[in-house]
C-alpha cells in the first residue's frame, strides 16, 4: 500500500505544478528533464532548498543526468562536502538489469594494491572471468600490452580495455608466481552476490566468514535472500560461534535485504526492538517508518560481529552496521565507509511504452535512516576500529589476508593488533570496483526503497 500511495501522491504532485499560471515564461511539458525535476522536487529530503520548476528551468540543462547533478548541489554541506552524492537518473532498462544482477561484461573487479600493481579484487562465478578460473589476488601484468600504473593516460587506456571493449587479453601473474595469458569476451550472466562463505576453525573458535558484494539480485533480490538463508544454514550446521561479514565492495541495494541480514545476525534479545527509523521530508512525513527486529530464534547465537569495510562500503551495508550497534558488540576493520545514511525510492518515468530505451528511472534522495539510539549522521562514513589495507594480493578466505587476519586475531584474543601506521595504510590507492580513475577508483553506480 505504501507504494500505491506513493504513486498517487506523485500524480498529485504533477497537478500542483501544472496549476501555475500560463503567463510564466517557462513552460512545463512532457520533456524527461522536466519529469526528473518534478519528481525530485516532490520527494527530495531537502526539498525546501530546491527552487520551483519555473526558477530551476530543467530544459536549460543538456540532459536528465545534468538535471539530477544540479539537484545534488542543493543538499547541505556536511564535513566539507555535499550530503547528496547519490541521487541519480538512469535508463530504465539499465536499472532493471543492474538491480537484478544481470550483467554483460568480463565479470570481475580491479584494484591497485600499489600504484604499479593492479589486481583482481573479486570475480562473479558465472561470468567470463569466473568460467576461466580467474581469482581475486591475480596480478595484471599486461592488459592488451598496457602495463598498469596510476598515471592518467594509463588509466584511460585501462578503462577502454577493461570496460569498453569487445575482448581483452590479460597476462596474469598468479600467487604461485606462474603466469598465464587469458583472452576474455563479454558474456551475459547473473551475478552471485554471496561471493564467498566458509567457517574457520582456530583456537577453539568456529568463525563464520561471509563476503557479500551487494543487496541486489534476481527476482527483486529474492535470489540473494535465498543465498543468505542457505549461507547462515551452512554456518549453523558447522556450529559457528563467531561471525565476520566482509562488505568491502558492497555499495548497497534493496533495503529489505539489509533488514533480512540484520535479522540473521542480531541476538535474540533484539527481537521486537527498533532496528531503524526512516525519516522523509515534511510532505511525506507519514512515510516515516520504524522497522523492528523479527528474529525470535536466530540461526546463530552471536554476541558480537566484525565487519570488513572500505570506502566502497555504502548505503544498505552501512545501515546493517549501524542498526546492529545498539544490540551487540560491533567492530569495523578496514577503512571508513562511504557515508550514505540516506536512501531513495526508484521511480519509473515511462516516456514511450513501445520503446524501452526511451524510459528512465529517477532516484532522488528521499529519506534518512537512524538506529535505535537515534544515530544516523554518518555522512563522513562509519569509522573503523582498526584501519587496515585491503590486501588484494590474497583471495577471500585466506587467513593471512590482512583484514581477515585482524578479525580472527580479535575474535580469538580480544586484541586488534597494530600492523603498520594508519598514515601508511591510507596511502594505498582506493577502490576499483568499476571504472578506474586517477583519484577515486570509483564504485558501482547503482545502488520498493533502495540504499
Domain membership of residue 356 (yes or no) is: no
Task: Provide the residue range defining the domain that includes 79.
Answer: 2-98
Q: Which of 74, 98, 122 is the last residue of a domain?
A: 98
pLDDT at 27: 64
Q: Based on the structure, what is the number of domains in the chain?
A: 3
170 pLDDT above the threshold of 60: yes
Distance CA 342, CA 88 (A): 13
Which pLDDT band holds residue 184 (cuts at 50, 70, 90)?
very high
Exposure string over 135-170, b if 16+ CB within 10 A, otherwise e: bbbbbbeebbebebebeeebbebbbebbeebeebeb
Residues 194 and 173 grouped into a single domain: no
Domain membership of residue 443 (yes or no) is: no
Residues 177 and 48 grouped into a single domain: no
Q: Lowest-pLDDT range, 19-28, 273-282, 378-387, 408-417?
A: 19-28
Distance CA 159, CA 26 (A): 40
CATH of the domain at 229: 3.90.226.10
CATH of the domain at 149: 2.30.42.10
Domain membership of residue 277 (yes or no) is: yes
Domain membership of residue 19 (yes or no) is: yes
Residues 385 and 250 grouped into a single domain: yes
Domain membership of residue 82 (yes or no) is: yes
Domain membership of residue 351 (yes or no) is: no
Q: Are 300 and 284 in contact (CB under 8 A)?
A: no
Domain membership of residue 448 (yes or no) is: no
- What are the pLDDT digits (tens) for 339-392? 999 999 999 999 999 999 999 999 999 999 999 999 999 999 999 999 999 999
Residues 18 and 162 grouped into a single domain: no
Residues 276 and 405 grouped into a single domain: yes
pLDDT at 369: 98
Q: Which of 161, 188, 215 is the last residue of a domain?
A: 188
Q: H-type helices in 101-168, by residue range?
A: 128-131, 152-163
- What are the pLDDT digits (tens) for 101-131? 999 999 999 999 999 999 999 999 999 999 9
Residues 371 and 266 grouped into a single domain: yes
Q: Average of pLDDT values for 294-302?
A: 95
What mean pLDDT, rounded, does the chain reach? 90
Residues 90 and 138 grouped into a single domain: no
Residues 420 and 298 grouped into a single domain: yes
- What are the pLDDT digits (tens) for 137-151? 999 999 999 999 999
Residues 380 and 320 grouped into a single domain: yes
* 284: DSSP letter: G
Residue 236: Cβ-neighbour burial (10 angstroms; 0-12, 13-18, 19+): middle
Q: Which of 37, 67, 98 is the last residue of a domain?
A: 98
Q: Are 201 and 84 in contact (CB under 8 A)?
A: no
Residues 61 and 168 grouped into a single domain: no
| Residue of 418 and 431 predicted with greater confidence | 418
Residues 205 and 285 grouped into a single domain: yes
433 pLDDT above the threshold of 70: no
Residues 24 and 147 grouped into a single domain: no
Distance CA 261, CA 246 (A): 13
Q: Are 223 and 217 in contact (CB under 8 A)?
A: yes
Strand ranges, E, within 24-162? 77-78, 81-82, 88-91, 102-105, 108-114, 117-123, 139-143
pLDDT at 417: 73
Domain membership of residue 22 (yes or no) is: yes
The model carries a pTM of 0.89
Amino acid at each position: 500500500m505504501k507504494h500505491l500511495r506513493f504513486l498517487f501522491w506523485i500524480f498529485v504532485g504533477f497537478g500542483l505544478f501544472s496549476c501555475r499560471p500560463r503567463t510564466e515564461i517557462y513552460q512545463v511539458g512532457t520533456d524527461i528533464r522536466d519529469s526528473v525535476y518534478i519528481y525530485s522536487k516532490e520527494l527530495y529530503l531537502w526539498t525546501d532548498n530546491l527552487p520551483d520548476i519555473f526558477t530551476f528551468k530543467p530544459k536549460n540543462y543538456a540532459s536528465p543526468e545534468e538535471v539530477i547533478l544540479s539537484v545534488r548541489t542543493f543538499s547541505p554541506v556536511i564535513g566539507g562536502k555535499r550530503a547528496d552524492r547519490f541521487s541519480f537518473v538512469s535508463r530504465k532498462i539499465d536499472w532493471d538489469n543492474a538491480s537484478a544482477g544481470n550483467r554483460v561484461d568480463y565479470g570481475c573487479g580491479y584494484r591497485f594494491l600499489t600504484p604499479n600493481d593492479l589486481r583482481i579484487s573479486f570475480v562473479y562465478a558465472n561470468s567470463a572471468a569466473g568460467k576461466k578460473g580467474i581469482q581475486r589476488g591475480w596480478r595484471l601484468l599486461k592488459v592488451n600490452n598496457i602495463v598498469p600504473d596510476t598515471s592518467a593516460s594509463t588509466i584511460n587506456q585501462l578503462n577502454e580495455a577493461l570496460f569498453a571493449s569487445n575482448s581483452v587479453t590479460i597476462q596474469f601473474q598468479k600467487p604461485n608466481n606462474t603466469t598465464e595469458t587469458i583472452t576474455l569476451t563479454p558474456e551475459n550472466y547473473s551475478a552471485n552476490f554471496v561471493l564467498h562463505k566458509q567457517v574457520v576453525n582456530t583456537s577453539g573458535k568456529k568463525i563464520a566468514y561471509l563476503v557479500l558484494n551487494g543487496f541486489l539480485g534476481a527476482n527483486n533480490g529474492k535470489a540473494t535472500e535465498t543465498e543468505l538463508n542457505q549461507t547462515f544454514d551452512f554456518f549453523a550446521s558447522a556450529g559457528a560461534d563467531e561471525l565476520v561479514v566482509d562488505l568491502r565492495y558492497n555499495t548497497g541495494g534493496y533495503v529489505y535485504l539489509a533488514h533480512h541480514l540484520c535479522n540473521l545476525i542480531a541476538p535474540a534479545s533484539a527481537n521486537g526492538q527498533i532496528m531503524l527509523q526512516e525519516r522523509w521530508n515534511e510532505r511525506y512525513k507519514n512515510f516515516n517508518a520504524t522497522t523492528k527486529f523479527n528474529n525470535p530464534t536466530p540461526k546463530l547465537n552471536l554476541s558480537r560481529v566484525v565487519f570488513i569495510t572500505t570506502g566502497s562500503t555504502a548505503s544498505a551495508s552501512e545501515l546493517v552496521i549501524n542498526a546492529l550497534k545498539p544490540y551487540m558488540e560491533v567492530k569495523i576493520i578496514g577503512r571508513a565507509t562511504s557515508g550514505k545514511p540516506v536512501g531513495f525510492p526508484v521511480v519509473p518515468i515511462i516516456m514511450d511504452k513501445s520503446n524501452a530505451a526511451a524510459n528512465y528511472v529517477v532516484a532522488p534522495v528521499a529519506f534518512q535512516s537512524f538506529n535505535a539510539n537515534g544515530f544516523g549522521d554518518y555522512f563522513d562514513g562509519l569509522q573503523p576500529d582498526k584501519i587496515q589495507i585491503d590486501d588484494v594480493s590474497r583471495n577471500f578466505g585466506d587467513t593471512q589476508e590482512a583484514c581477515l587476519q585482524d578479525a580472527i586475531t580479535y575474535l580469538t584474543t580480544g586484541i586488534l593488533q597494530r600492523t603498520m601506521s594508519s598514515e601508511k595504510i591510507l596511502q594505498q590507492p582506493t577502490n576499483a570496483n568499476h571504472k578506474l580513475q586517477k583519484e577515486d577508483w570509483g564504485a558501482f553506480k547503482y545502488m520498493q526503497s533502495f540504499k
